[in-house]
Chains A and B, each alone.
Chain A
């Protein structure tokens, strides 16, 4: 059964968020949203998914500070973060690089501390994005002893590969490369050093059940909040 790259990424995210009680998905993150909806379709009730981007039926009623307040209390298990630059110590830059200005840090400087796990997600996997050292640290990947911190990075997922974060070594470890890509290619396009097993496995392909869930209930739900994405990927429109 053939599948689209975004479906493979959504399935990978669904595995990463397994077991979480509450995941929050920020603006312009259709693939993480699809992955979380798939995880919930698998598990039945969990996780609770707060899509921060919803134009109607937004999960919160205390304004935009509520997400941060409840994250500060420890009510968010998984959060997603992108990055104009990401380095090998899992530092994220959302401000500027090479004289170019990006939108800004959003809540990242707080959320990587407050959420139990942060999944770094960036489809572009190039030396431009995955750099030896970010020019500006919006959100630090780790903190020295004595700094209060509940959580940190869990993984870095790109269009070519999945890395898992090793907090004790403060380094990424290449977990798998996506079908159609190779470990050598990943090394070539990654600007930072990382650990890797001798034989790097392939990221599991989406199975029949996962694809059926993605193209059925997940696609229908996605059509409401991410209409352009759902139309492009599955040809579904909002009910």
Chain B
């Protein structure tokens, strides 16, 4: 695994090359379906038969996680929720958790953000209001209740989470490896917290985005980015805001197919295993 400091961003040829960089057993932070998951890499991970991955939903997961779980790539999921949204439950995830094939570490959205923000700042833990009295707390050895050192009131803290890999798709990278994510700031938090960050992009730009005062506030500096690779329509069947929308018909098709192991296997044959990456 790449070391954390002074990343020299590499430009890789495509999704397969990124999937080859993600080792079996890695803790991989993934964004929600609405925040541009690197679906082309997810499919490449299935093709390379990745095993034992531990997924972290920032803060929730959807189709990317369901595909990886269904294909047997995942040992553990930590997330505040896993669902296909309007297309319904995440069928492979539900089946795997009910069967005990995948270990679920339940979380709550702001706690995922807090634990990653602790890692971002290089501090051991971060407090969060609320959560006291929730059964989530009893199941998490990395969450503790402490006395607020100022008021004495009980307060929940979460240990920092340092993902080995942050993986997502974005609209642009420039040749220096700066990545534009716009308002999807959870992608920046993931990149800052993780030891390595891999990004597929719609388009590689020849200009420097940090020279552009309009683009720069939406940019993740290349210091956090291990490698980028071009992958046009790399979020499909999910969307890239402002560029292309979610393929709702495909999501509904997947939700129906994945209800049974046989249907899921046919889906993999048709859209994952047979497909040569663009």
Contact with B along A88-123 (1 / 0, CB 8 A): 000000110001111111111111111000000000
B123 at the A/B interface (Cβ < 8 Å)? no
A108 with B108: in contact, given A64-B186, A147-B153 (CB under 8 Å)? yes
A238 at the A/B interface (Cβ < 8 Å)? no
Q: How far is the CB of B115 from chain A (nearest CB, A)?
A: 11
B153 near A113 (CB under 8 angstroms)?
no
> Chain A: which residue is nearest B135 at the CB level?
A137
Find the residue from B107, B132, B245 having the highest chain A CB count within 10 A: B132
A109 near B34 (CB under 8 angstroms)?
no
A3 at the A/B interface (Cβ < 8 Å)? no
Which of chain B's residues have a CB closer than 8 A to the CB of A38?
none
B15 at the A/B interface (Cβ < 8 Å)? no
Which of chain B's residues have a CB closer than 8 A to the CB of A136?
135
Which of chain B's residues have a CB closer than 8 A to the CB of A68?
109-110, 113
Q: How far is the CB of B134 from chain A (nearest CB, A)?
A: 4
B223 at the A/B interface (Cβ < 8 Å)? no
- Residue among A56, A64, A143 making CB contact with B35, cutoff 8 Å: A64
A138 with B134: in contact, given A103-B82, A106-B81 (CB under 8 Å)? yes
Which of chain A's residues have a CB closer than 8 A to the CB of B108?
105-110, 138
Name the interface residues of B37-93: CB closer than 8 Å to any CB of A: 58-60, 79-83, 85-86, 89-90, 93
Residue tally, chain A, CB below 8 Å to B: 45
Name the interface residues of A101-159: CB closer than 8 Å to any CB of B: 101-114, 136-140, 143-144, 146-149
A200 at the A/B interface (Cβ < 8 Å)? no
B98 at the A/B interface (Cβ < 8 Å)? yes
Q: How far is the CB of B114 from chain A (nearest CB, A)?
A: 8
Instruction: Please classify the interface of chain A as helix (H, G, I), strand (E, B), loop, or mixed, using the class held by over half of its residues.
Output: loop
- Residue among A104, A111, A137 making CB contact with B60, cutoff 8 Å: A104
A21 at the A/B interface (Cβ < 8 Å)? no
Which of chain B's residues have a CB closer than 8 A to the CB of A143?
132-133
A233 at the A/B interface (Cβ < 8 Å)? no
Q: How far is the CB of B6 from chain A (nearest CB, A)?
A: 26
A147 near B60 (CB under 8 angstroms)?
no
Q: How far is the CB of A10 from chain B (nearest CB, A)?
A: 19
Complex Cα distance, B97 from A228, in Å, reads 30
A105 near B130 (CB under 8 angstroms)?
no
Contact with A along B110-131 (1 / 0, CB 8 A): 1101000100000000001111
Which of chain A's residues have a CB closer than 8 A to the CB of B245?
55
A55 near B32 (CB under 8 angstroms)?
no
A5 at the A/B interface (Cβ < 8 Å)? no
- Residue among B90, B97, B136 making CB contact with A109, cutoff 8 Å: B136
B183 near A139 (CB under 8 angstroms)?
no
A137 near B129 (CB under 8 angstroms)?
no
Contact with A along B148-163 (1 / 0, CB 8 A): 0000011100000000
Given contacts A61-B183, A106-B80, A110-B128, 15 further A-B contacts (CB under 8 A): A27-B85, A55-B246, A69-B110, A95-B106, A101-B94, A101-B104, A103-B81, A104-B79, A104-B82, A104-B107, A106-B109, A107-B80, A110-B109, A112-B130, A147-B132
Interface positions of B (Cβ within 8 A of A): 32, 34-35, 58-60, 79-83, 85-86, 89-90, 93-94, 97-98, 104, 106-111, 113, 117, 128-136, 153-155, 183-189, 239, 241-242, 245-246
Q: List 24 A-B contacts (CB under 8 A).
A: A27-B85, A55-B241, A58-B183, A61-B185, A63-B189, A64-B109, A64-B113, A64-B186, A65-B117, A66-B185, A68-B109, A72-B110, A100-B98, A101-B97, A104-B81, A104-B83, A106-B60, A106-B80, A109-B131, A110-B131, A112-B130, A113-B129, A113-B131, A140-B133
Listed from nearest, the 4 A-B pairs whose CB atoms lie closest are A63-B185, A113-B130, A104-B81, A68-B110
